[in-house]
Amino acid sequence: MTSNADNSPVWFITGCSTGLGRALAQRVLEHGHRAVVTARRVEQVEDLAAAHAPTCLAVPLDVTVSTQIAAAVARAEERFGRIDVLVNNAGYGYLAAVEEGDDDEVRAMFETNFFGLVAMTRQVLPGMRARRHGHIVNVSSVGGLLGNPSSGYYNATKFAVEGLTEALAKEVGPLGIHATAIEPGPFRTDWSGRSLKVAAHPMSAYAETAGARRAEIQSYSGRQPGDPVRAADAIIKAVEAPNPPANLVLGRNGLDRVRAKLEGMLASIDEWEAVTLSADYPKN
């Protein structure tokens, strides 16, 4: 057992089998921090624990199973004494026009992307509150700040993460706990490849909107501009900052799109300001 007197931070990261989660786990360990690395199939992360035996614990975890969440957090606290940083990274994408969406697929994605994140957060917060110290890092997406054809249901899961994280930050800030939403643009992970789910019955009516964007996303799998290792370093830098950001967009592509969305939204608000204000009772 690693000594609980060790002052190096303890990270708990979900979804470490591939992509950003695995890159983050590797970089956290290389920085000399301690880490609990999780995956539904624990054998996919056992090599990390073997390479960093004193500072890494590999744990099986499906974030949609409450008993596994409780067991994983208990093992983390038994091994390291605490959790300083929770990274809710587990998640995946499902692309379908709103009318094409399958209810079971949509609900399953919400269970992982949103409700699993909520359950993990609620399991870890009591310990952080008791110590008045901690950081919740929720991996959202640029798709949590703007919507696009075929991504409506995925956008909905990530918009939910954004709202939850913003509210959470205001609740736990006075308790010494930070909360940050991470918004990656396209990164070279399995998100748009092996891990991606798509509409089973696409409709010709949406071929030029949802269908075209679905094909575009799948076509650039493996050629995305974002580097998961550099993204991992950026997340570590944000967590180690004296005043961590509430939001961290990652990658030029994402940054440009988020800025365009915000600029367009502000322009529309200004254009319709008179109508907006007309909805109030007249002032006496």
Separation of alpha carbons 250 and 238, rounded Å: 11
The Cα 244–Cα 233 span in angstroms is: 14
CA 174 to chain centre: 23
Residue 226 has what pLDDT? 79
| Domain chopping of the chain, boundaries | 10-253
Pairing of strands 56-60, 85-88: unpaired
- pTM of the complete model: 0.93
d(CA 31, CA 233): 10
- As given in the structure block, the two tokens for residue 175 are 């308790």
Q: Which of 17, 140, 150, 151 is catalytic?
A: 140
Contact indicator for 177, 135 with CB cutoff of 8 Å? yes
CB of 127 within 8 A of CB of 77?
A: yes
Question: For residues 85 and 130, is the Cβ–Cβ distance under 8 A?
Answer: no
User: Which fold, 10-253?
Assistant: Rossmann fold (3.40.50)
Q: Which of 146, 138, 143 is nearest to 172 (CA)?
A: 138
Catalytic-labelled residue, pool 92, 94, 153, 154: 154
Please report, in tens digits, the pLDDT of each residue of the chain (284 residues total): 444 447 899 999 999 998 999 999 999 999 999 999 999 999 999 999 999 999 999 999 999 999 999 999 999 999 999 999 999 999 999 999 999 999 999 999 999 999 999 999 999 999 999 999 999 999 999 999 999 999 999 999 999 999 999 999 999 999 999 999 999 987 776 665 567 888 899 999 999 999 999 888 877 776 777 789 999 999 999 999 999 999 999 999 999 999 999 999 999 999 999 999 999 999 87
Nearest to 240 by CA among 55, 85, 25: 85
126: tokens are 């009591």
Q: For residues 146 and 259, what is the distance between their CA atoms, to the nearest angstrom?
A: 10
Using CA atoms, how far apart are residues 119 and 229, in angstroms rounded to an integer?
Answer: 27
Contacts of 113 (CB under 8 A, 6+ apart): 91, 92, 154, 157, 158, 161
Exactly one of 17, 153, 158, 206 is catalytic; which is it?
Answer: 158
159, 141 Cβ separation under 8 angstroms: no
Q: Annotated catalytic, 154?
A: yes
Can you give the pLDDT at residue 223?
74
Residue by residue, DSSP assigns the chain as: ---TT--S-EEEES--SSHHHHHHHHHHHHTT-EEEEEESSGGGTHHHHHHTTTTEEEEE--TT-HHHHHHHHHHHHHHHS--SEEEE-----EE--GGG--HHHHHHHHIIIIIHHHHHHHHHHHHHHHHT-EEEEEE--GGGT---TT-HHHHHHHHHHHHHHHHHHHHHGGGTEEEEEEEE-SBSSSTTTTT-EE-SS--GGGIIIIIHHHHHHHHTTT--SB-HHHHHHHHHHHHHSSS--SEEEESHHHHHHHHHHHHHHHHHHHHTHHHHHTTSPPP-
